Structure 1
């Protein structure tokens, strides 16, 4: 379970940062400066990384026995800027304290 959570946390941050780069830098350059270079480079990378994010989310949801709706909401959070960071924090806070309390002897 810890490995799936770690993989999810890493890819959630990567997808979030790449999506922000795409939206904050690439889209204004494309539509305001007529320079699509950033979108052409970062867009396909985000698409590939988003698929990895979907796989990591599915793996975590299967191990954590999430409801189907929750899994879909966490998956969709990778499509909205800043939401992947919030979802990662929410998921992490749910699982990390529970695991730490099991490890402590008293």
Structure 2
């Protein structure tokens, strides 16, 4: 369960970085909006899966509310999921 969550967190973080630092500059600086739709859609789907799976794990693994809220809020900044993965799950077994 944790291994899958770590994978989802990593993919969500990568999609955010691609969206914010590649697709959006292409659109707003170089007037090339082609990457916004597929990257934005992928990021949106991964973000939703991340939140749903975090909610599932909150109840399955009996996380306290503080940890759950921190994990969910970490999905907002582009590098937040990488930090959460390192802080909370680096020693977690698959």
TM-score of the two chains, using structure 2 as the length reference: 0.88
Residue 16 of structure 2 corresponds to which residue in structure 1?
Answer: 19
User: Paired residues, what number?
Assistant: 94
Structure having the higher helix fraction is 1
Instruction: Name the counterpart of 2:31.
Output: 34
Select which of 50, 69, 73 maps to 1:72: 69
Counterpart selection for 1:62 from 55, 59, 63: 59
Cα shift at 1:94: 5.6
Rg comparison, structure with higher value: 1
Q: CA RMSD in A?
A: 1.7
1:65-105 CA deviation, whole Å, 9 max, x = no partner? 22223212201211211110010111213644xx9xxxxxx
Name segments (4+ residues, structure 1) moved above 6 Å.
none
Q: 2:47 aligns with which of 26, 47, 50?
A: 50
Deviation at 1:64, TM superposition (A): 2.5
**Deviates most, 7-16 or 86-95:** 86-95
Higher relative contact order (CA 8 A, sep 6+): 2
